[in-house]
Each structure stands twice: as C-alpha cells, then as structure tokens.
Structure 1
C-alpha cells in the first residue's frame, strides 16, 4: 500500500530544518527539497543518478521502500552479486561471508538483465498464471464448501429423523428393563434386609452377653460365674452355629444386579 507520509529533505534535516522533500534519489537514498535537489542534479558525480518525485516514491510498496543499495552489516554500497546465495554483496561481504563462493558477478550486469523487457514480461505472465490458478482453486473450494453445507443440512435432517426413531425404541426398551430391574432389586433387597434383621438380633444378644460377662467377672461369686459361663457358652455356641450355617449356605454369595445389553 502506498505511503502517505510527508517526507522531509534529508540534507535540511541534518541542519535541523524541516523542508518538505520533492524528489528521491534511489542511488544516494536521500530525499531532496526543491532547493537541495538542484546542486545534486548539477553535480558531475550525481547528475546521472536516477531520481523520482516523492509522489511516485510513495506509490512504491512499503517492501520496495525498505530495500537499500547499501549493505546493512558493513554500510557499504552493493557492488557484487553472489549467484550461489542469490544475494547482493559489498566488498566487505566477500571477506566475511563469501570467501568460498566462486561465481561472483558485478551487480550492474545482473541489474541490466533484470531490466530486460523480456524477463519482465515472462515474470508478469508467470505471476498472472499463478494468480489465475489460485483464483480458480479458491473458486472451486468455495463451491465445494457451499455443496458440503447443503450436504450437511440434509445429513442433519436424516440423523435427527433416525434419532427420533431410535429414541422411541430406546424409551420403550428402557421402561421394560427398568421395570424388570425394579422387580429383581425389590426381591433381592427384601431377602437381604430380612437376613440383616436376624443378624442384628443375634448381635444385640451378643452385646448384652458381653456386658453381662464383664459384670459377672467383677461382682459374681465363683458358683455364679461357673453357671453363668455355661449359659454364656451355650448362647455363644448357638450364635456361632448361626453364623456358620449362613457361611455354608448361599446367603453371603454376591448377588449382583447387572444389565447385559446385546450389541
């Protein structure tokens, strides 16, 4: 996107004067006001430099405006081109980074080739072809997105219809299974509750017997202890037999409630 910034003359700015620039020298990379541009255009060293108006400079893409003819690392003008790394180089770059690069060419020769209209036309055609292919691909994919949206809507309707049929069947099946589960659970719970009640009665008797045993050993005579032990032993034996009968039966077998649903 073109820049709309009002550029200031670089020469005047060095003197802390803010005169609006009217031209840009792409070789010096300097903005000139109307006054400073005249000696630059008359100088033997710079009169052949390529300049453009600031208005045209602002039309350049921001990427192009940031491109410099000087090396960022060494602050020297690019003079050579490394074909291996495909980059412009200054003299100092050769020593630092391109000592082993064999195919170094004058940058001016490369730039002359770039300016050939044939090269530009070929690149423009290639760029247009790529853009056209990309546009066609985007158009195709958008049409596929639209088609898939329609297909999704239709599929959702079918799924919901199928879901309603399944829900009706599942609800009826659920009621049947829940009724059967409630019946079996009630029977199992009733049997276990009755057994727990019997066992709690036995446990209560044993608690009372333990309390009597403690008091007996503290306060009873030897005869009372002797007879009491017989009584306690008899009650304890009956309780042990009761537990043993339960263990030998199926009262302690795990009776699980499970639902086995066919796939």
Structure 2
C-alpha cells in the first residue's frame, strides 16, 4: 500500500533541502531520493540495509520517531529507570539522577525484537480481554438496570392499584348503605302518601253520603245518617291530627369518617411514594502483564535478573462499580 503522505529524503533534509523520496530504508527509518540511494548502496555501513520502493512502502505507526518531540533532538540515549529513549537534553533536564544511562544504539542491538513483540502482543491481548470483560459487565449492568427500572414502575403501579381497589370497595360499601337507608325511608314516605290518599277517598265518599241525606229518608233516618257520618269524620280528624304530629321531613346525609380528613392531610404532606436508590458494589477484574518491560532487553551485564523477570508475571487489578437500582417505600 502506497503512503498517502509524501515522504522526504532524510539526507537531503539534513542539508535543509526538501526532496521527495523514491526509496525507503527500514534500517535507517528514513526516505531516500535516487541520488542519496545510490550513495547509500555504495557505503559499507549501509549497503546491506533493507530497502523498498516508495510506491509499495507502508509506513510504520506514527510514534516511530527518531527525534525527541520536546527538544527536537536526535534520540541517542536510553534510560532504563523509565524505560524510554532520550535525547541529550532529556537526560540533562529530566534524568540527571537516573543511573545506568545507556546508548540507545546498544540497547537496540541487545533487544530481542521478536520476543519484545510477543511480550507487547501479550499485554495488548490481555488488555483487550480486560476491556471486553468491563464492557460486557456494563452491558449486563444496563440490562439488569432496565429490569430493575421496570420492577420499580410495576411496584408503584401495584401500590396505586391496591389503593384504588380499596377505595373502590369503600365506595361500593357506602353506596350500598345509602341505597338501603334511602330505600327504607322512601318506602315510609311512599306509604304515608298512600295512607293519605286512602283518607281522602274516604272523606269524599262521606261527602257524597252527606249530600244524599234527606233525599229519600225520613227526619229520623236523616238524623241517624248525619250522626253516623259525623262520627266517621270525627275519627278521621283524630287520625289526621295524630299523623300530622308525626310528620317529619327526611334528609339523607353522610357523616364523614374523621379518619378521611386525617388521610387527606397525610396525602397533602406526602411528597413521595418512596425513594429510588442506587447501590454501588465494587467489582474487580484482573489481567496478566509483564512485571518489568525492561525484560525485553537481554543485557549481557544482567543475564540472571533478566531471566528471572522474563518468567515472572503479576496480576493488575481494575476496579469497576456495579450499579443496581432499588425502590424503598416510605
């Protein structure tokens, strides 16, 4: 794959000239124009370097720089304490107290590249596995949270339904009581009206009988007839007067339970049906990684130490928070 970014000739750039590179040298990690490449092939130090045509060259990842990003100087030294390449100014300013400063070229020569790649690859794989565990945990936490969220909604809905159900039962009960009481009172009132109608009918009949007196009867018969009607009227008057004393107007009312006002006051002061709480539980994932990255470099000065550190592994703990939702009724 050809590079999308123009690569300049390294030697030409050292001479303050920007020339497009035709060849790339993996050993020197720089581009070469056709002129510089010819010289590069003839020199004893570089004639056996691995090169490739610029059209098929695939650049390495962006961090492969031979210059210090801070001081713009060539990286020539290596600090084993911090496991990092340094320029001369880095050493003087940031690593003056570090011991065992080495030449970067010597460290590179002593490094087992394949073994180093395998070690880094192992760390990358381990971190990827750890990230997968963390992501899966959070995905499961989301699913569990969704279920807990639904449970909370259902529990609140259940409380509301139970309250409504109880109120419906109380409502039906008071309706039934009102229906029974009003039915009884209505029956009494209706019976009273029926009784009055009967008295009115009797009085009208008496009135008709009174009008018939003296028409076809003697004086004695008329006297006895009027006397009989008078007695009936007198009894009717007594009955009506007694009924009149017993006449009462009926009003149907409800005496409210004092507890209802107490409940209303409680409801007005109630600001919540409960509390939605988040419980956090710390969980730990582990990953295996190299104890000492310096073990990638097999120095002839410290063979025993390197052998020990290369065969040793440690577990690095990563703490996450597992979240659960719960509903606490008030």
Q: Which of the pair has more CA radius of gyration?
A: 2
More strand by share: 2
> Relative contact order: is structure 1 or structure 2 higher (C-alpha 8 Å, sep ≥ 6)?
2
Which TM-score applies when normalising by structure 1? 0.48
More helix by share: 1
Which TM-score applies when normalising by structure 2? 0.40
